[in-house]
Amino acid sequence: MNYEDSGTPTEISQTFRELVVQRYALAMPERLLGSPASDGTLDELLAHKSVRSFSDRPLPEGTIEALVAAAQSASTSSNLQTWSVVAVQDPERKSQAATWCANQEFIRQAPLFFVFIADLARLTWVCEQEGSPGEGLDYFEMFLMAALDATLAAQNAAVAAEKLGLGICCVGGARNHPRELAELLRLPPRTIGLFGMAVGWPAEGLTTTVKPRLPQPGLLHYETYGEAAWGDQVAAYNAIMNAFFEEQGMTDHPVWSKGSAQRVASAKSLSGRHVFRQILEERGFGLK
């Protein structure tokens, strides 16, 4: 039970209860029973599912600009706005982008592919115009700022897209071949593609399921960090994900802990991203 501004207790919605259970594949956690009343925003966030199959229905005019307006409404450090986004719609360019992004077919299928950019080029130009040496741009902090700004912006765009009934899928494969992607998008020095986002109408009849996440005790810490819960929570999550994969017919999928360990087992398992720092330096990012 929770309280509105008036102090009157109100029941959390049944939809919220159901979505929490789906998100964790567990009974409603006791602490969440006191969640604040929602206008539906919490429900929409909890209902997020990646979409990897799109219809050929075109996006309404103005969709790109509306999503970018939402993206620009995200927090940005010191209002420096150290990010940009390239909206790719041309089928040929989108197909080539898909090739460089782990050759994922759904990118070609989606009517829109955003590539979110860590962008210090614009700020470099501003410094030149203002007669500033811009020495701060040579530090790792500025790349980190740009990556965080872009990520916050992209999440806003994703939420906005889903609010409009669209589906999205973020694509880390944009870092598999960053040199080639930069050339394709004609990115200037001091910019680099961080990740993509396929956007479109979900294919008709598409049925996808909310993927469970780690139980909250596995990553939520009160006041100070603690590792004591890891063993029990990872074991519980392995069981949850095994059941999920069986329901999805993915019987050859390893348990979560084993699959995660394999994903970072070696440089090769990073799918080419182990040279990302070197490419950042090639593209003019200072990492002091």
Share the mean pLDDT of the chain: 92
- Are residues 67 and 172 both part of a single domain? yes
Kindly state whether residue 267 falls inside one of the protein's structural domains.
Answer: no
Under the banding of pLDDT at 50, 70 and 90, the label for residue 4 is: very low
- Are residues 82 and 131 both part of a single domain? yes
Residues, the chain: 288
pLDDT digits (tens, 9 = 90+) for 42-84: 888 999 999 999 999 999 999 999 999 999 999 999 999 999 9
- Are residues 19 and 119 both part of a single domain? no
* pLDDT greater than 70 at residue 33: no
- Are residues 25 and 127 both part of a single domain? no
Kindly state whether residue 260 falls inside one of the protein's structural domains.
Answer: no
Taking Cα atoms as reference points, which of 68, 88, 112 lies closest to residue 186? 88
* pLDDT greater than 60 at residue 162: yes
* pLDDT greater than 90 at residue 88: yes
pLDDT at position 20, please? 86
pLDDT digits (tens, 9 = 90+) for 204-226: 988 888 999 999 999 999 999 99
- Are residues 181 and 141 both part of a single domain? yes
Domain range spanning residue 120?
A: 63-206+272-282
How many domains does one find in the chain?
Answer: 2
Kindly state whether residue 253 falls inside one of the protein's structural domains.
Answer: no
| Helix axes 63-72 and 140-163, enclosed angle (nearest 10) | 130
- Are residues 215 and 193 both part of a single domain? no
- Dihedral sign of CA atoms 271, 276, 277, 282 in order: positive
Which residue has better confidence, 251 or 236?
236
- Are residues 40 and 73 both part of a single domain? no
Kindly state whether residue 186 falls inside one of the protein's structural domains.
Answer: yes
Taking Cα atoms as reference points, which of 107, 221, 99 lies closest to residue 168? 107
- Are residues 109 and 148 both part of a single domain? yes
Predicted TM-score (pTM) of this structure = 0.92
Kindly state whether residue 34 falls inside one of the protein's structural domains.
Answer: yes
> Are the CB atoms for 52 and 44 separated by under 8 Å?
no
State the DSSP code for 182: H
Kindly state whether residue 288 falls inside one of the protein's structural domains.
Answer: no
Kindly state whether residue 128 falls inside one of the protein's structural domains.
Answer: yes
pLDDT at position 8, please? 41
Q: How far is CA 85 from the centre of its chain?
A: 14
pLDDT digits (tens, 9 = 90+) for 95-146: 999 999 999 999 999 999 999 999 999 999 999 999 999 999 999 999 999 9
- Are residues 241 and 112 both part of a single domain? no
Q: What is the mean pLDDT of residues 183-212?
A: 95
pLDDT at position 123, please? 98
